[in-house]
Amino acid sequence: MNAGNAATHAPDLSDLRTPALVLDLDVLENNLRVMQERTDALGVRLRPHVKTHKCVEIAELQRSRGASGIAVSTLAEARIFAEAGFDDILWAFPLNLSRIGEAAALSRRIELGVTVDSLTAVEALEAAGVSFPVWLEIDCGYGRSGVPHGSGRVVEIARRISRAGRLSLRGCLTHAGHTYHADSPAAIAALAEEERRVMVEVGRALRAAGLEPGVLSLGSTPGMSRVETLEGVDEARPGNYALYDYTQTRLGSCAVSDCAVTVLATVVSARQGSDGAIADCGALALSKDVGPDDPPHYGRLFRDTSGRELSEHRVSSVSQEHGRLSGRFAVGEKVRVLPNHACLTVAHFDRFEVVRGRRVVDRWKIRRARD
């Protein structure tokens, strides 16, 4: 941490150069506390997915509050967090065969779980001749990756892992990503319960075949906001909950006041006497995620730097660096935008400007890397 330095350069939110990604530390800390308490109460370990924030300082806060390991979505992320001292990392993305050599190198230093949903991937891991803790991905109904639950291939692939000398079945994981498309809190709760039921059933089926399923892991942020019991499973892997975003508010996962990141932008062009202005919050700040609203927009205006609410306004269109704001603004005015999708927005910035209220207290690096 480097609070003194940041405070010297920009003691107040309104002094920041833009575009800037502002992280409200009070909100973040509350989000981390609430989810840790929730998983504790549900009797499961919390393995936060750090693809949302890509930030070592936030992962350290999650760990200090009780999180048990982390999940990542790329090998580059795994390497960065391994270097920062995280030694239980689940690469929760189906194994990329072009990356096995690198995964093996990292696996010699830390517990790096790799995810498979095919015999092809298991065979490639075997051929690498390295000990890997392997996680079997199950599709609980989302229809993206994973072995379809109920398919005989669940047992077939698990058996193959168990018989491979250097591999061990460390766990089974699923992600009910279809909670993001559910149209009511009740529908989200039903999908989250189905996700739990599927994983309990997978555990039973593997044990019936004489196999040890290992850790049963699931979780999405919307699902975790609604699930009533996680009986029979071991671990939850929500990610977005640390920051939340406008989409999560619409899903009912959180309130607007729970959203920890906003993009601070400056109005650079405004027509005299007419609605609409241009600010420096284009596609390379907010992303082109159109969010849940119809008509679509690229972020909701949150407030200005004086604290004035602007919630009736939107970023109505974006080009590469230009964001068009609905409403009347003057050149030089600063606004804060609540992004549709925090994970994609974070990936466009090099750092968080960490604030408590309006006071800038720190800068935390965002570790976006491909290699």
Question: Does the protein bind its own copies through residue 294 (CB under 8 A)?
Answer: no
| Contact criterion met (CB below 8 Å) for 286 and 263 | yes
**Minimal distance, residue 369 CB to its own copies, in Å:** 7
Question: Does the protein bind its own copies through residue 9 (CB under 8 A)?
Answer: no
- Angle, vertex CA 243, rays to CA 265 and CA 21, nearest 5: 20
| Contact criterion met (CB below 8 Å) for 249 and 186 | no
Question: Does the protein bind its own copies through residue 195 (CB under 8 A)?
Answer: no
Measured distance CA(37)–CA(34) in Å, rounded: 5
Query: Which of 36, 145, 162, 168: binder of its own copies (CB under 8 A)?
Result: 145
Stated as kind and residue range, the H or E segment containing 158 is: helix 153-163
Identity of the residue, 259 or 278, whose beta carbon is nearer to its own copies in the bound complex: 278
**Minimal distance, residue 242 CB to its own copies, in Å:** 15
- Of 92-100, 125-133, 187-195, 202-210, the window that binds its own copies (rule: CB under 8 A) is 92-100
Query: Which of 271, 275, 293, 307: binder of its own copies (CB under 8 A)?
Result: 271
Question: Does the protein bind its own copies through residue 104 (CB under 8 A)?
Answer: no
> CB under 8 Å to 276, separation ≥6 — which residues?
270, 316, 324, 325, 326, 327
Q: Residue type at 13?
A: L
Query: Which of 9, 33, 109, 144: binder of its own copies (CB under 8 A)?
Result: 144
Q: Dmax over Cα atoms in the chain, in whole Å?
A: 74
Question: Does the protein bind its own copies through residue 362 (CB under 8 A)?
Answer: no
Question: Does the protein bind its own copies through residue 320 (CB under 8 A)?
Answer: yes
Question: Does the protein bind its own copies through residue 370 (CB under 8 A)?
Answer: yes
- Of 17-25, 39-47, 190-198, 353-361, the window that binds its own copies (rule: CB under 8 A) is 17-25
Stated as kind and residue range, the H or E segment containing 208 is: helix 185-208
Site string for its own copies, 110-129 (x = CB under 8 A): -------xx-xx--x-----
Question: Does the protein bind its own copies through residue 363 (CB under 8 A)?
Answer: no
Q: Give residue for tokens 């001749």.
A: 129
Token pair of 305 as six digits: 């730097």
Identity of the residue, 10 or 200, whose beta carbon is nearer to its own copies in the bound complex: 10
| Contact criterion met (CB below 8 Å) for 182 and 191 | yes
Identity of the residue, 124 or 200, whose beta carbon is nearer to its own copies in the bound complex: 124
Q: What is the DSSP-derived secondary structure letter of residue 108?
A: T
Question: Does the protein bind its own copies through residue 108 (CB under 8 A)?
Answer: no
- Of 88-96, 126-134, 157-165, 192-200, the window that binds its own copies (rule: CB under 8 A) is 88-96
DSSP annotation string for 25-75 = HHHHHHHHHHHHHHHHHHT-EE--BTTTT--HHHHHHHHHTT--SEEESSH
Question: Residue 350, class by beta-carbon neighbours within 10 Å (0-12 exposed, 13-18 middle, 19+ buried)?
Answer: exposed
Question: Does the protein bind its own copies through residue 261 (CB under 8 A)?
Answer: no
Positions in the binding site for its own copies (CB under 8 A)? 16-19, 51, 73-74, 93-99, 102, 117-118, 120-121, 124, 137, 144-146, 148, 153, 177, 266, 268-272, 278, 280, 283-284, 287-290, 319-322, 324, 330-332, 334, 343-344, 347-350, 369-371
